[in-house]
Structure 1
């Protein structure tokens, strides 16, 4: 199975929001393994696990357990995602829902959803209309439910529409901040439910949106279609290997067999695919360690021993030897040179 990913804009949005709420940016980067500068590329994909680490680090560093809800409440989805732009360019809420289903994997890839399976379904149950999230294993990362449903509640409200969410059902237990749920959803919330679902005002289907000129919808749709095709092609094998290595690099014992297993191929097949791209597993592993070591050492708050651990070396001496091979400098000399040049 390929590594699930997030759209870089959403990750960048969370990073910046957490910093605005008091989180230390370097601590966020260190905890998540995310290099903030790389998030400036709007087409970049970020490993799902790295985003999970970022979210949890952000909650800890800000002291705000409801940060995921607050992120959805205060950061406009259209400012961080092409999918968000498409929804506000849609003519009606029904069309926005259709675009969200069509292109939602650009925002985030989740288990149980793919080209033939929609993430969201609308179901009429008696007089009620329910939007149901088909994501598998939602309680492993309930913050995704909070941000997803939070945006659905806050987005229309931000545009001056009438409230469409009449009831919220979530499968995770009560996390202990009911006032935040009430403020964001302004509707009854049922915790520990059998599904993740929103009961919607039945008139939402035909409610007009069109916050952008009509021609913009076509431009955005074409752009999203091209990005989705690229995503479905899974990009380069090297990129997929890097995405798997990034969140577990600190272990220092990730084998080619393990990565091949996550990709659903044999070790020999992975070797051949990487060879066709002119690279080896060992080269990818080494380059990733090199790049992240430079990033960590650029921050004086991260010690050399901590850097060694974060890039997977159990012994500082082994890290020092590798660093000299990469840069011809010891970690101490490199840090001193950076300080002079700063």
Structure 2
């Protein structure tokens, strides 16, 4: 596989979010090497390293280690990727998960799952859990943190009168903003 990439819609959405919090757009583009790159098509490919550079620069500029998490909770997937439109048009949560596993590479083309599905709906008989099987390297919690924020926020927007999340378990070391999790996710973590 060539270098990992992410859909430009995620990059531009985060840049716009950070600019709305006082960060200079040019500074973010320069820090990421995207200065002069056309980010107009949400499905254009951007190197994952450039997206990570935007995240780092925006986080440093705002002093908010939870910036990506806040952005994820406050943004809408369908405005950043066609995958959001596919998932939202699915007939059930199980169908949505099947579609998400099928089209996830349109959002982030990274070869970390070795052909296996990333997301699973696990029924324990009394509870239904969404399991993210993505490996989390030490200290690299951002992707999985954003995934669960996306599930929670999209479900709450789509079904505001239904309870979706009642608890979240994580297997990574607490990030600097872990004490904000209960308020941001609005569930025990």
Q: Do they superpose with TM above 0.5?
A: yes
Q: SS where residue 105 of structure 2 aligns? A: helix
CA distance in 1, matches of 2:102, 2:44: 19
Matched, 1:119 2:109: no
Superposed displacement of residue 26, structure 1: 1.1
CA distance in 2, matches of 1:140, 1:103: 27
Aligned to 1:51: 51
Counterparts in 2 of 1:1-342, with a 5 A limit? 1-35=1-35, 37-113=37-113, 116-125=115-124, 127-159=126-158, 160-178=160-178, 180-189=180-189
Q: Which digits, 9 at most, give the CA deviation of each residue in 1:288-324, with x for residues without a partner?
A: xxxxxxxxxxxxxxxxxxxxxxxxxxxxxxxxxxxxx
CA distance in 1, matches of 2:35, 2:171: 33
Superposed displacement of residue 129, structure 1: 2.5
Are the counterparts in 1 of residues 7 and 43 from structure 2 also a CA contact under 8 Å? Answer: yes
- With normalisation by structure 2, the TM-score equals 0.89
CA distance in 2, matches of 1:66, 1:143: 9
Superposed displacement of residue 121, structure 1: 1.6
Q: SS where residue 91 of structure 1 aligns? A: coil
More helix by share: 1
Are the counterparts in 2 of residues 111 and 137 from structure 1 also a CA contact under 8 Å? Answer: no
Query: Runs of 5+ in structure 2 lacking a partner?
Result: none
Distance 1:153 1:12, change over 3 A: same
Are the counterparts in 2 of residues 122 and 130 from structure 1 also a CA contact under 8 Å? Answer: yes
CA distance in 2, matches of 1:56, 1:6: 16
RMSD of aligned alpha carbons: 1.9
Q: After the TM superposition, which segments of 4 or more aligned residues of structure 1 sit over 3 Å from their partners?
A: 137-140
Distance 1:36 1:20, change over 3 A: farther
Are the counterparts in 2 of residues 120 and 133 from structure 1 also a CA contact under 8 Å? Answer: yes
Query: Runs of 5+ in structure 1 lacking a partner?
Result: 190-342
CA distance in 2, matches of 1:92, 1:111: 27
Q: SS where residue 58 of structure 2 aligns? A: helix
Superposed displacement of residue 39, structure 1: 0.9
Q: SS where residue 31 of structure 1 aligns? A: helix
Which structure is richer in relative contact order (CA contacts within 8 A, separation 6 or more)? Answer: 2
Give the count of matched residue pairs: 188
Distance 1:119 1:36, change over 3 A: farther
Q: SS where residue 169 of structure 1 aligns? A: coil
